[in-house]
Amino acid sequence: MRFHALLFAATLPFAFVACSGSTGDIAAVPANDQAAAPTPAPGATPTTGRPFQTAVIADFDSPWAMDFLPDGRVLVTEKDGRLRLVRPLTSNGSAMMQAMVEGVPQVDSAGQGGLMDVVLHPGFAQNRLVYFSYSEARAGGKNVVLARARLEEPASGAPRLADVQTLLRGDPVDGSGHYSGRIAFAPDGHLFFTAGDRQKFDPAQDKSLLLGKVLRLTDTGQPAPGNPLAAQGFRPEVWSYGHRNLLGIAFDTAGNLWEQEMGPRHGDELNLILPGRNYGWPNVSNGDHYDGRNIPDHAPGDGYEAPKVFWNPAISPAGLMIYSGEMFPAWRNSAFIGGMNTPGLIRVQLNGTEAQKADQWDMDGQRIRDVAQGPDGAVWVLEDGTEGSRGRLLRLTPAG
């Protein structure tokens, strides 16, 4: 269970190029494209100091996502297909303990592929169910997979995923980009899953495909009853469409669903996800194509749902958490997003169904891959890691 809001709710290593200006998307652009763009996005507060202190908890090889167990331990995915179970501190305050979880299916980790999100079922304390996403190579192409398993911790031996079930397979295409694969449980127990456009553009508007869509499912992976677009000929799983590379999804305490996604050349977005809405990709965007061709901006009356916040220059967003804890009371109802192009941690203040840029902190020049709220209200971040260095797990608490 993610301790984001309501107690539940994650692309690439350094060498790849992001279509939003960092390594989250691959594209035919220079490897350092937009990398030297540290200027805070318009509307953000250029913060010179940090209102938090940072403790290094552990480090990993290209970590991607995390989620907390009820007892405070944390599951962390690594891109190459490893799932680790970390106890940050033992009861007597001794050093962190870490175990490899066995039973993870084989993943295809080429490009942006790999083991991606991990989220506990809201009833994990009773059923021990863990949901996760990964990419696989099959006949006909590569696709994203949504799966679940039961976490077993035998008295002797390593923890393991048992009874692994494939709940959904995305549409197979050639290429290894824009899998997305983010997972969130709604307050009513429905399961939301993001399926990226796989760098294929037009399928985000195609009714017959899952590409470029937010999906609403039962917790067994079936299309949820009442999805709004099936009567219009869409796949019955589809909740909203016209998305690009959706790398964060979370509910706030009022039950609103928020999502962030990478734009093309700039134009990263934070969206309020509403049932049946078209978010415009690739027909409109506040960014442009990498070859310089213009994409029409979002405009009133264009028939598309505009983002609540967008960034130009790009931040290359990764992960999304909506804070609801006690440790940082001034941050309640704030969305936190990791930045991988302009390295740092980004805060957006939410006000009902509106949003406003607030703060952006440099994190020692590190790309941030995921953000989560711990059981005690601390803010936890995962660094992406770069070539020659591992991504650290950090715990942020109030300064002083």
For 26-44, the pLDDT digits (tens) are 333 222 223 333 334 444 4
Residue 23 falls within a domain, yes or no? no
Which residues span the domain enclosing 203?
Answer: 61-314
d(CA 44, CA 362): 13
Q: Say if 30 falls within a structural domain.
A: no
Q: Could you give the CA distance from residue 33 to residue 20 in angstroms, rounded to a whole number?
A: 9
Does this model's pTM top 0.95? My answer is no
pLDDT at site 16: 30
Helices marked H in 3-86: none
Which letter, b or e, does each residue of 322-354 get, where b requires 16 or more Cβ atoms within 10 Å of its Cβ?
Answer: bbbbebbeebbebbbbbbbbbbbbbbbbbeeee
Q: Is residue 22 part of a domain?
A: no
Which residue type occupies 330? A
Cite the active site residues: 178
- Total structural domains in the chain? 1
Q: Is 265 within a domain?
A: yes
Cβ contact 238:215 at 8 Å: yes
Question: Hey, what are 367's tokens?
Answer: 């790309």
Q: How would you classify the pairing of strands 191-195 and 180-185?
A: antiparallel
166 located within any domain: yes
Tell me the pLDDT band of 387, cut-offs 50, 70 and 90: low
Is residue 350 situated within a structural domain?
no
- Asked if residue 280 belongs to a domain, the reply is yes
Could you report the per-residue pLDDT of 181-219, keeping only the tens digit for each? 999 999 999 999 999 999 999 999 999 999 999 999 999
CATH number of the CATH domain containing 205: 2.120.10.30
| Residue 106 in domain | yes
